[in-house]
Each structure stands twice: as structure tokens, then as C-alpha cells.
Amino acid sequence: MVKTKPIAEGDLSSTKHIANRVKRQEVYQRIKKGKKDVKKAKKEQRKKDAEDPEKKDKPKAVPKTLDNMREEDETILLSEDEEVMNDEDEDEFAKYFDGETPKTIITSANKPSKKVIELIKALLQLFPGSYYYERRNFDIKDIAKWAGERGFTNLVILGQGLQLGGHKKNPCELLLIHLPEGPSLHFRLTSVQLSDEIKVGGVKAG
């Protein structure tokens, strides 16, 4: 029986540097067999350790991972940290994640176009607890004050006009104000498409 010469760990790299094809195949088979023998030996050793009463009760080795090898960083706060828990308790948006429904007013510029009215209808279906009120000639500050005093949590105002070569009757902006004290976000709207204008999809669920 011909014994194959064991291959050192450093030799388990590549055989591309071997020009002779026969020799390259021979070395490759040796590498392959060496890996297989190592794997078999480890398996047999684990089996022996499991049957050995002295090693049976030894704690299993914990595999090294990025988490258990990471050095402790004082700047990282855990979810159960007291500071984090206090911040979550004071978060004004936390109640909405606990099931409370926000109350939103949606309005627009005076004399909204058909396109803006269609977008308003879509937003009323999208946002729970939303209501539409005509803008008339009221100032934004007056609307926000009135809505905040009546328990509304958000104010959405849609604008229309020329923008990026669009039509004057198309919606061009959306102002979102969180009541009563903000913050406020301003969005530019371009190429607005409603669900019935989308060729593939746009089917309402439920």
C-alpha cells in the first residue's frame, strides 16, 4: 500500500503554479485527501470526547463571533439602559406605536384643482383619522392653532402650481406640520401618480 505524504497546512493553497498537468492533479488529490483526513479525525475525536466521562461534563467551546469578540464600547447603549428607557418614555411619538391613532387635518390652497382634490381623496384613504377642511382665506398659523386646540395632531397642506415645467393645476408641494409645536416638513411633489394611474399594480388591498 502506498502511503501519501501528509501535506502541511501552508501547502493547502493553490496548485496553479504547477505547470505539469499530471503532477498538478496528483498534488490536488493529496490536498483533497488531506482535508478529508483532517475532517474525519476531528469527527472521531469529538465522538471519543463525548464518550469520555471526564470530558463529557466539560463546557462546550463557544464559537468566536463578531459579537462576543467585540470590545466593550462605552459609547454604545443597550436597549435596557436606563437613559434609553427614559428617552423612549418621553418620546412624543411613542403613543402612536402603542395603538393610538393620530388625528390629521388635510387642506389645500384656495380653489384646488381636480388633480389636487383626487390626491386629497387618496390621502384620506391612506391616513387613518384624517379629515378634509376647505382652506378658504385662513392663514397657516391660524389653522394650526385652531387644529391644535381641538386635539388634532397633524396638519397637511397641499399646494399647486408651476414647477419643473409642470402644469399650474398639478400638486407641487406638501407641508406637514406636527401639532401643536412642530416639527414641520416641506416636500416638493413632481409627477404625482395616483393608484388608478399606475399601469401595473395600484390595486387597493382589503
pTM above 0.85, yes or no: no
Mind spelling out the 3-state secondary structure of the chain?
A: CCCCCCCCHHHCCCCCCCCCHHHHHHHHHHHHHHHHHHHHHHHHHHHHHHHCHHHHCCCCCCCCCHHHHCCCCCCCCCCCCHHHHHHHHHCCCHHHHCCCCCCEEEEECCCCCHHHHHHHHHHHHHCCCEEECCCCCCCHHHHHHHHHHCCCCEEEEEEECCCCCCCCCCEEEEEEEECCCCCEEEEECCCCCCHHHCCCCCCCCC
pLDDT score at 89: 67
Q: All 3 cell numbers of residue 184?
A: 414641520
Least confident of 4-18, 52-66, 152-166: 4-18
List of residues 6+ apart from 114 with CB closer than 8 A: 169
pLDDT score at 123: 94
Mean pLDDT of the chain: 80
From residue 44, alpha-carbon distances to 32, 37, 49 in Å are 19, 10, 9
- Report the candidate in 27, 183, 10, 178 with the shortest Cα–Cα distance to residue 105: 178
Least confident of 54-58, 120-124, 126-130, 162-166: 162-166
Band (187; pLDDT cuts 50, 70, 90): very high
* Residue labelled with grid coordinates 469520555: 52
pLDDT score at 92: 67
- Report the candidate in 188, 168, 167, 164 with the shortest Cα–Cα distance to residue 176: 188
Average pLDDT over residues 89-117: 82
Mind spelling out the 3-state secondary structure of 146-173?
A: HHHHCCCCEEEEEEECCCCCCCCCCEEE
pLDDT score at 117: 93
Q: Is the pLDDT confidence value at 170 over 90?
A: no
The residues that bridge with 105 in the sheet, in sequence order, are: 131, 155
Residue pLDDT, tens place only, 28-77: 888 888 889 999 998 888 888 777 776 666 677 778 888 778 777 777 76
List of residues 6+ apart from 65 with CB closer than 8 A: none
pLDDT score at 18: 81
pLDDT score at 2: 42
pLDDT more than 90, % of the chain: 28
Band (9; pLDDT cuts 50, 70, 90): very low
Q: Is the pLDDT confidence value at 15 over 50?
A: yes
Band (203; pLDDT cuts 50, 70, 90): low
* Residue labelled with grid coordinates 498537468: 21
Q: Is the pLDDT confidence value at 100 over 60?
A: yes
pLDDT score at 154: 94
Is the separation of the CB atoms in 135 and 109 below 8 Å?
yes
